[in-house]
């Protein structure tokens, strides 16, 4: 792998960029404080913008590492911050990245997350050189699985009672894509 870190990525409707500490109010307001957004995730909704700011200070420091991949998702052209997509686990020996993502509920069903995910997959496969990208979701959150399906990821299995988040054990559904599958999908789309 050739680690490049979190670089700015653009799609038709989105800009994926590094977070800044000044993003705290928008992040808090648009998704970090939402019980609906955090419902199936590992973190509790933030109590205030100061909690969000403290987290962003850690994230901004992490950008010093070339293997840190953590994007703020912003709408074009106004730059409104609506979500986050990142590599939550990296397995260098296997050249495997595991994605995590969330978006404010006002933007659910808009196609923004598959659009952001597509840009991240392209970057990870074509620039970083990963061999595999995976993602998982709580079985009670099938909408997250539909994002993975729209990205062309394949269902790989459900690990019964393997997930744990916020005091609850859940069945963990996994999807993945190999570099060779990504190349085939890209070639097929170009035809």
Give the C-alpha separation, 69 to 93, whole Å.
Answer: 17
* Predicted local confidence at residue 166, as pLDDT: 83
* Predicted local confidence at residue 167, as pLDDT: 87
Give the C-alpha separation, 135 to 117, whole Å.
Answer: 11
Give the C-alpha separation, 94 to 34, whole Å.
Answer: 35
The token pair that represents 128 in the structure block? 């970083």
Q: Are 144 and 175 in contact (CB under 8 A)?
A: no
Q: Which residues lie below 8 Å from residue 189, measured CB to CB, with a gap of 6+? A: none
* Predicted local confidence at residue 22, as pLDDT: 97
Q: pTM of this prediction?
A: 0.94
CATH number of 9-190: 3.40.630.30
Q: Are 130 and 153 in contact (CB under 8 A)?
A: no
* Predicted local confidence at residue 188, as pLDDT: 85
Helix boundaries (H) for the chain: 24-27, 35-38, 49-62, 112-122, 142-150, 179-190
* Predicted local confidence at residue 82, as pLDDT: 98
Phi, psi of 22 (to 5 degrees): -70, -5
Q: Where are the domains of the chain?
A: 9-190
**Chain segment 28-43, per-residue pLDDT in tens:** 999 999 999 998 888 9
Q: What angle do CA 118, 119, 123 make, to 5 degrees?
A: 115
Q: Are strands 96-103 and 132-138 parallel, antiparallel or unpaired?
A: parallel
> What are the 10-residue block averages of pLDDT along the chain, 191 residues in total?
96 98 98 93 93 98 97 96 98 97 96 98 98 97 96 97 90 97 90 76
3-state helix, strand, coil in the chain (%, to 5): 40, 30, 30
């Amino acid at each position: 792998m050739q680690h490049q870190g979190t670089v700015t990525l653009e799609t038709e409707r989105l800009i994926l960029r590094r977070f800044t500490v000044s993003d705290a109010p928008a992040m808090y307001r648009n998704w970090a404080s939402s019980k609906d957004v955090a419902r199936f995730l590992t973190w509790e909704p933030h109590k205030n913008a100061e909690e969000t700011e403290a987290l962003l200070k850690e994230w901004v420091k992490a950008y010093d590492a070339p293997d840190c991949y953590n994007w703020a998702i912003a709408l074009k052209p106004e730059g409104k911050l609506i979500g986050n997509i990142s590599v939550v686990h990296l397995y260098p020996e296997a050249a495997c990245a595991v994605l995590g993502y969330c978006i404010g509920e006002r933007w659910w069903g808009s196609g923004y997350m598959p659009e952001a995910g597509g840009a991240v997959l392209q970057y990870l496969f074509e620039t970083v050189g990963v061999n595999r990208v995976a993602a998982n979701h709580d079985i009670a959150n099938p909408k997250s699985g539909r994002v993975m399906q729209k990205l062309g990821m394949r269902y790989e299995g459900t690990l019964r009672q393997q997930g744990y988040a916020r005091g609850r054990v859940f069945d963990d559904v996994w999807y993945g894509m190999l570099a060779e599958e990504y190349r085939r999908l890209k070639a097929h789309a170009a035809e």
